[in-house]
Structure 1
Amino acid sequence: MSVSGPFFDRIAQRILTAHPAPDLRGVTILLPNYHAAQPLAQALMRGAQRPALLLPQMVTLNAWAQSVRLDTPVVADSQRSALLYQQLRKSKWFEQADLWSMTQELLKLFDELTHSLHELPGDAESFAALVQQAYQARQNSTLQLEARLVFELWHAMQAGTESDQARVYQQQLARLAQQADRPLYVLRASDWDALEQRFLDEYAQHAAVTVFDLRVMEAQIGAPLFFAATSLEQEARAAAMQVRRWLAAGKRDIAIVAQDRVVARRMRALLERAEVLVADETGWTFATLSVSTVLDRWLTSLQSDFYHRDLLDLLKSPFIFADLTASERKSAVYQLEQLLRKQGIVAGLEKFIDLAGHETALLQLLVRLRQAAALLEQNRKKTLAGWLLALQASLRVLGIDAGLQQDDAGRQLLLALETWQRELAADAGSYRFSEWRRWLAQQLDTQTYRDSSIDSTVRFTHLAATRWRPFDAVLLLGCDADHLPSAANGGRWFNDAVRAALDLSTRGSHAARQHDDLLGLLALNDCVLVTWQKDKNGEHGLLSPYLQILRDEHQRAHGDDRSEPELLACLAAEDAHRVELSQAAQPAPSVAAEAVPAKVSISAYNSLVACPYQFHARYILRLNELDEVQEAIEKRDYGERVHGILQRFHERYRQVGGHDAAEMEAALRRISEDVFADLLQQDFAARAWLARWYRSLPAYLAWQAENEAQGWRYAEAESAFSIELDGVQLRGRIDRLDVREQAIRVLDYKTQGDQILRHKLREPGEDVQLACYAYAHETDDASFVSIEGGKVKTVAPAHDVAQLAQLNAERLVQVMQRMRGGACLPANGIDQACMHCEMRGVCRKGEWL
């Protein structure tokens, strides 16, 4: 017999003594939950020692109350919420407040105030009298402003003719108490709330009430085992390991009381990896489920004018366009993503539709988005029910409703939307789109989904649900001082001071109830493991004070701190059996001759010199990162615009000499504004980049005038070239060519400081750009032009340019020949080259042996 057996046997003996077997139908037993019914029924069978027994009525208080039918119309919580929100919105006190969260918190307080009435009202008239009596009594009380506000609003909300759930529940209990005609036995583990106590008091006036309080039944509290983890991962692994050990030992009813839900999620993943399914009695709010995520993505896309990231997140949801095959959806999304990255369009559904062009499959999806968006008119005000109808219609257009119908949680979500729409059909209040969206988010955060498809002997539950429940084994997960006792489900508006002033339960009473529940759990179960993190985020973590007291008492009495003796060894053994991947080594791949590129750009050649493996990853494996959709102007865009400005300027003014300096600067400004025009429209930061360029105009014109004084004349810009070397074609584009009689000079504009450029040219052959340009035009004059910080300077290599050009060409030919011959391409870039290299995650530098 389990440790809980004697408790139920004592209860059964008391009942059988007063009510002889075999017929116990004249008795009602009030249970904290239906899980206690089976062990109690088994105890009654053992005590009666009869082959058959007519069991008593065993019921929870809430289920018993629901059996009482009342003719009173009941207003739904969604209707109460809308009514209260409209009252708060009219008040000038709360203009900057989050009214929906305040509404939710006030409704909870109103229900508690209703339950705190000193009598159980049997009908609407007696309820109204009790409310008025309480109101008159409190009018003369000194209440703080917040408490008075709550009380006045509660009184006003009770003036309606319709009853809320709290009022109906009170009347149902009053009817049960008045009709009491049979003895009542009650299983108790912690303090009642005021309403439950009044019901028992009134019931006792008509029939006998016997309470079995677990706290006073001379319960022997056993000391559980303790496991102090050094990290979240270790705690989750140890907990999962213990559950598997219990299952291997034949234990079948295993409870996981999860105080820390983060650890619980990780533990669940580990158990499912080990093919151990876990039922969840606590459930998850809809706001945390993927079925609600698709709603959020849809409404966010709509509100952000289909910002490209929001749109792609929406289209990648498995619930949208469920009438299409997965491959059709993926293909269309891929097409859109490629177009967005190529064209750089940030937002705007109409722009995306124009961009789609003749991509029929993609265009059809975007048109459906436009049709759905038209149903949700953001600029209009609607009722909550009107917004919900529009939402449901848009979900049908997008095929989201069909996708949700294929998921159990999705079906429950659709049912909730239909229920709220029906409940709010009579509400005439009008709401902006943003107000309705906040309301919807709150509704999703208050509705709980429980997965009934998993039938497992291992279950997540919460502490209050363990009252009078015996298990084969119990795991108390995440029992550090921050999670046990857990914080009361209070709010941010009305604290314990307000609750105390209104004679409602406080954080202290909430903690006391958890303490009683914990002791009751330990009294009924002797196979218990407690886990917590003794090291958390670099700080020392404390065990829950409730459990620390038990542990200290056991150590004083027995000299043993009850640390779990075997789990660490089990985890170590598990680690020993894991397959360890070999540590990364410096990669140095070779390439088949036919895979060696026949054409090489200047940038590819620079990459080859900086790091052969980088060249291999970028230009042979083609692992280049996808271009991001540009949302803000970057230094690269600034440089490209400067190149375009100077090209246009010099094509118009081949020489600045002979022109007025002010005229030249004005012309350069006009061209600059024209080139920057599109950027100025889409990004305010473009003005800062343009101002940065304006600072350099006088210096640039002075530099150009000096060049002309030295005899140099502008020849051409953006000059493309292609050189056939021995087995490889070198391609590139030169920013600018100047000529002086028969001489040619190659110039490359850089929006960088001259010191940075001098550093690039310090080692001959490290930067190949100027050398390759010089080789292409058979010149020994090549320079960078530094345009930065209001200064313009020419930066030339310190070494002989003609020689550098020849050596660079020969090196490229030799390297490509060796590559075709099977030479390795090692990852040997210096730290500076690796700092911003996007291939670092491929070569795994930093993890090499």
Structure 2
Amino acid sequence: MKLATIPAHLPFLDQLAIRWIESANHDVEAIGEGIIVLPGRRAARALTEAFLRHMDGQSVLLPRIVPIGALDEAELGLSAGIGGELALDLPPAVASMTRLAVLARLVLQADKAFGTRPTLDQAWPLAKALADLMDEAEWSGVNLAERLPEAVQENFAEHWQIILRFLEIVTQAWPEWLRENGVMNPVARQVALLEAQADLWRKLAQQGDSTPIWAAGFTHVMQPTVKVLQAVLECPAGKVVLPGLDMMMAEETFLSLPDSHPQAGLSALLKNLEITRNKVQIWEGTGKGAGRAAILARVLLPAEALDDWSHPGGAELENVYRLDAADQQEEAVAISMIMREAIEKPMHRVALVTPDRVLAARVATELARWGVLADDSAGSSLVDTPAAVLLRLVAQMVDSRFSPVSLLSVLKHPLVACGFSSGVCRATARLLERAILRGPAPPPGFAALCRVVNNALENLNERAKAKLEGGITADRPFGPVALSVFMQRLAFCLEPVLGWELDAVEASVQTAQDLEQHCAPVPDLLAALIATVERLVATDEESASERLWRGEEGNMLASQLTELMLASEVLPPQPPVVLDGLLTAVLAPERVAMRRGGDPKSLHPRVLIWGLFESRLQTAETVILGGLSEGVWPPVVDAGPWMSRPMRQRMGLPSPEQAVGQAAHDFFASAAAADTVILSSARRREGAPVVPARWLTRLDAFLAGRNGYIPNHPALVWLNKLDQPLGPATPVAPPQPMPPVALRPRRLSVTEIETWIRDPYAIYAKHILRLEVLPELEEAADASDYGMIVHKALERWVKAYAVAWPENAEKKLCDLFSASLQEHVLRPALRAWWAPRLTRIARWVVQAEEKRRSEHGVPRAILTEIRGRVSIMDAPGGKFDIVGRADRIELNADGHVIVQDYKTGTLPSAKDVWAGWSPQLPLEAAMIIRGGFKEVPEHSREISDLIYWRLTGGADPGEEVVVKTREALSLTDLAEQTWENLLLRVAAYDQPDQPYLSHPHPGREPRFADYARLARVPEWNSARKEDEE
């Protein structure tokens, strides 16, 4: 028989090689005669390896092994010899990039006709969808110009007419462009070549040519491939070999399979070949999994045939295991352990088969833990390679007008050096981050950033010296010289794209005229972007080309960008904002092998990672089917952007469910042929619950009905033991650092004393570990900014009108608040929100001042924002300084002192002040008593009032809280008591065994616990709460 099948439980390519060798009677010369046509290049390479395995080391000339997609004039010999009269005069195929560029231009023109104004990054994906539609139609033999109008649905006639008008791109405009340029679609040309190949082989058959021609491994195929297979069957020595045809399924069921069934493609193929299954020869062989394949075939029967489950039969799946992981990471680690364990056996191959590229990348990374570099044959998207990521980051940076986040994303990219060594570039970038980019964002634009840097150089110098003196030298070089040189070098690197800066604004706020005015030819935009990146990646020792374009990734990226620059000459000018989206659309579909830092020569020959296409016709001793979840494997069914399923059916296009059927066949073939199979799925994917693949659900149901089950693989047990500590887990204890007294701070501010009481660990982290809390990048204005505005305005008010009361006091204070507000860089909406609140504060302050003066008279003096210091000379560890800055100190008419503090947030209660939890004002009073504020006269040191002003500007714009005396204790007594407590604390912490505890008083934690994560408070605090309960 000329039509054969290799059972699913046998390794297809090994059996094919064995049968070819046997058909040549093991004659070395005869083995090399003939042609074997396979579906893809990966299968062709794998068949070559299979021949080598079965030739026992003999030297042999192999037959010509040809992927069907590689058939062209050179392979076919159509231009000379016996096929000369059949030679084709075909126009060349249009280059893929050129086709997409021209289609994108047509999309732009068509959308303008519909009244929209898309940009290139929006048009390119539509162009790709149009190209896919044409390819699909040409493989199916569908004339879009004739069949599209027939697909219209009456209920959607108006909507369809709009789509039909848009699709005139592929029915009218594109064919006209092809004729004008003398080229043809790639698939149309491939179809013509396949048909010519079929005609050639038929002619050879008629002339009695007995050259063996085998076509193997095809499942559901398009009509042009069917013609090739029919021609092979007509050849005297021709054979068609099918993979895993189910010969036991009922004929009625086989002929009516839904497209989502794994045998649906083979069923359709036999129909097209006009051959029934009883004409198919079974090539038997030696294998272990015949029973497993039979069970899987019953499990996957269509719904109409499920009554077969009621019949008795085997239910033991030998060497099949389940891996039910909690999430993708656990799944990846477990799979890597299985693969590492498998290669302990000599000559044992292990393969992961998965369409989930994220899972494949995770497994490859985890295998590196075991020193194994896996061959991920499906590769990664070109857009995710380091060089492509850098190109997109630079485009995003210019689009965002050099925002801190986008700028640092570029500067911290591993390839960026700006002409320095990588270490100097990285250290200076971190310095720029800390000195300039942390906190509120600088004004937009590179020029504005340079101005901010220049203004900060003097302050930076002082801070850098202080850090160097404190021993922080990890980020050398410090200082304005290094930073100024760095900014000059950065300006040189960015020079090609700095001209775009004015254009890089949101398209949503631009008019059509603005967009047209600030556009440039796409090749020029790409050239400027590439030139910028090349300048950024060059080091002081290596050129850009050595770093950016090397290796397989760099070569492919350079090739794609070159093709894009040439093809984009046909495109209209575009704004620079399109580059990020354009590069994503162009580079994302391309796949490239990423070795993740490993040497390709170090790839482990027996550890394989395959995508579904790469896995077809291949197997290994151990096969892991990973990512078996709905939406991953099988994939989500998508009818495409242009038409519904019924419309596709009326046009004669393949149904979307065929993709599910092919995925099901991949599952069946991989699970049936290997010696050991692990079926792996995760319960959560990207944090969301997922449903196991329908085939796993069916398998569980089938086995449950026979009191069977699939045992779990022990990999999850291995995983739990892998990182398990030697002893039992113990809750972490609160930190108790006890540094030497010589390292403990000898100077604290009055505001830090409250922190010292509530959270001593924060003092330890800040002053001993010297860990500073970094502001957020692009930090939004918050309550601290509001407080600074209020304090600055009141400081100016008191200094201008301390005793003398001005006319129009409210207006003058409002003007000061307005000026202070304008000095801060704020969002317009926030400025508009704060302005009326500040006006209400001004009104309240004026009223409060007038009330106090009317009740207590005009003060003798008002001091504001003055600094003070008191030294504790007899502290056990040596002199200890208390410093402070008072918001306001008022000397009233009788010579007593009023100490006042402004708050824009929460006020401390009088109870907390007397209890010592909020000691700021009492400590300032104690410093006044001890002459710590030189501006306060010595004879005026009796404390009469401690006052808080809470200034919010809300419905109640202000509130005055006075700390009152208690029984026989005056406020002076409170100040002295607070000072005595401070002396005791200083003495206690001058003892080497006094620890700096974190949050030692439950319920009295500081409002802003900046070092709570460093102290691991959430961990031990939860244990403390459990103990209390």
Q: 2:856 matched to 1:705?
A: no
Q: Is the 8 A contact 1:279 1:459 kept in 2?
A: yes
Letter in 1 for 2:946: A
1:121 aligned partner: none
Q: 2:389 matched to 1:246?
A: no
- SS at 1:135 equivalent: helix
Q: What CA distance in whole angstroms lies between the structure 1 residues aligned with 2:419 and 2:52? A: 56
2:593 aligned partner: 450
Q: Is the 8 A contact 2:12 2:617 kept in 1?
A: no
- SS at 2:71 equivalent: helix
Letter in 2 for 1:739: L
Q: 2:426 matched to 1:330?
A: yes
Q: Is the 8 A contact 2:797 2:816 kept in 1?
A: yes
Q: Is the 8 A contact 2:864 2:887 kept in 1?
A: yes
Shift, 1:820, TM fit: 2.0
1:740 aligned partner: 892
Matches within 5 A, 1:528-543: 528-534=677-683, 542-543=691-692
Which of 655, 666, 672 aligns to 2:811? It is 666
| Change in CA separation of 1:645 and 1:355 when aligned onto 2, cut-off 3 Å | closer
Letter in 1 for 2:923: C
Please say which of residues 377-386 and 631-640 is displaced more in the overlay: 377-386
Which of 30, 33, 40 aligns to 1:23? It is 30
Matches within 5 A, 1:74-85: 74-85=93-104
1:125 aligned partner: none
Which of 796, 804, 810 aligns to 2:962? It is 796
Matches within 5 A, 1:383-394: 383-394=521-532
| Change in CA separation of 1:58 and 1:579 when aligned onto 2, cut-off 3 Å | farther
- Map Cα deviations across residues 328-362 of structure 1 (whole Å, 9 max, x no partner): 20232133123215785523311332344453432
Q: What CA distance in whole angstroms lies between the structure 2 residues aligned with 1:718 and 1:235? A: 61
Q: Is the 8 A contact 2:913 2:919 kept in 1?
A: no
Q: Is the 8 A contact 1:476 1:529 kept in 2?
A: yes
1:422 aligned partner: 566
Q: What CA distance in whole angstroms lies between the structure 1 residues aligned with 2:532 and 2:713? A: 58
Q: 2:232 matched to 1:200?
A: no
- Map Cα deviations across residues 266-321 of structure 1 (whole Å, 9 max, x no partner): 33332211222211111111222332221122111111111112111211112123
Q: What CA distance in whole angstroms lies between the structure 1 residues aligned with 2:713 and 2:590? A: 42
| Change in CA separation of 1:431 and 1:5 when aligned onto 2, cut-off 3 Å | closer
Which of 207, 216, 232 aligns to 2:245? It is 216
Shift, 1:246, TM fit: 0.9
Q: 2:822 matched to 1:677?
A: yes
Matches within 5 A, 1:507-656: 507-534=656-683, 542-553=691-702, 556=705, 559-564=707-712, 566-576=714-724, 583-628=731-776, 631-655=779-803
Shift, 1:738, TM fit: 1.6
Q: Is the 8 A contact 1:645 1:671 kept in 2?
A: yes
Q: What CA distance in whole angstroms lies between the structure 1 residues aligned with 2:1004 and 2:640? A: 52
Q: Is the 8 A contact 2:327 2:682 kept in 1?
A: yes
Name structure 2 gaps, 5 residues minimum: 1-6, 77-88, 205-210, 248-281, 283-289, 294-316, 455-479, 504-517, 539-543, 874-878, 930-941, 1024-1029
Matches within 5 A, 1:109-258: 109-117=133-141, 135-136=145-146, 139=149, 142=152, 145=160, 148-149=164-165, 152-156=168-172, 157-159=174-176, 160-161=178-179, 162-180=183-201, 181=204, 182-201=211-230, 209-216=238-245, 218=247, 220=290, 221-222=292-293, 223=317, 224-250=320-346, 252-258=348-354
2:490 aligned partner: 366
| Change in CA separation of 1:141 and 1:48 when aligned onto 2, cut-off 3 Å | same
- SS at 1:847 equivalent: helix
- Map Cα deviations across residues 694-748 of structure 1 (whole Å, 9 max, x no partner): 1223222111001111124252211111112233111111111222231221111
Q: 2:412 matched to 1:265?
A: no
Q: What CA distance in whole angstroms lies between the structure 2 residues aligned with 1:761 and 1:50? A: 89
TM-score normalised by the chain length of structure 2: 0.74
The count of aligned residue pairs is 828
- SS at 2:624 equivalent: strand
| Change in CA separation of 1:38 and 1:261 when aligned onto 2, cut-off 3 Å | closer
Name structure 1 gaps, 5 residues minimum: 119-130
Letter in 2 for 1:724: S
- Map Cα deviations across residues 802-840 of structure 1 (whole Å, 9 max, x no partner): 122112222222222222221222221434525530111
Q: Is the 8 A contact 2:152 2:647 kept in 1?
A: no
Shift, 1:166, TM fit: 1.7
2:105 aligned partner: 86
- SS at 2:188 equivalent: helix
Quick one: percent identity of the two aligned structures?
A: 19
Q: Is the 8 A contact 1:475 1:530 kept in 2?
A: yes
| Change in CA separation of 1:686 and 1:631 when aligned onto 2, cut-off 3 Å | farther
Q: What CA distance in whole angstroms lies between the structure 2 residues aligned with 1:791 and 1:10? A: 87
- Map Cα deviations across residues 580-625 of structure 1 (whole Å, 9 max, x no partner): 7864211122231221222211122121111222221122222121
Q: What CA distance in whole angstroms lies between the structure 1 residues aligned with 2:740 and 2:54? A: 85
Matches within 5 A, 1:47-62: 55-62=62-69
| Change in CA separation of 1:430 and 1:45 when aligned onto 2, cut-off 3 Å | closer
- SS at 1:278 equivalent: strand
Letter in 1 for 2:680: T
Please say which of residues 271-280 and 786-795 is displaced more in the overlay: 786-795
TM-score normalised by the chain length of structure 1: 0.89
Please say which of residues 205-214 and 165-174 is displaced more in the overlay: 205-214
- Map Cα deviations across residues 100-136 of structure 1 (whole Å, 9 max, x no partner): 2222111111111122226xxxxxxxxxxxx5xx634
Taking only aligned residues, the RMSD between alpha carbons, in angstroms, comes to: 3.5
Please say which of residues 43-52 and 150-159 is displaced more in the overlay: 43-52
Q: What CA distance in whole angstroms lies between the structure 2 residues aligned with 1:495 and 1:6? A: 37
- SS at 1:158 equivalent: helix
Letter in 2 for 1:84: L
Which of 845, 868, 877 aligns to 1:721? It is 868
Which of 307, 330, 349 aligns to 2:446? It is 349
1:692 aligned partner: 837
1:301 aligned partner: 397
Letter in 2 for 1:363: M
Q: What CA distance in whole angstroms lies between the structure 1 residues aligned with 2:130 and 2:53? A: 49
Q: What CA distance in whole angstroms lies between the structure 2 residues aligned with 1:40 and 1:301? A: 48
Shift, 1:189, TM fit: 5.0
Shift, 1:150, TM fit: 6.8
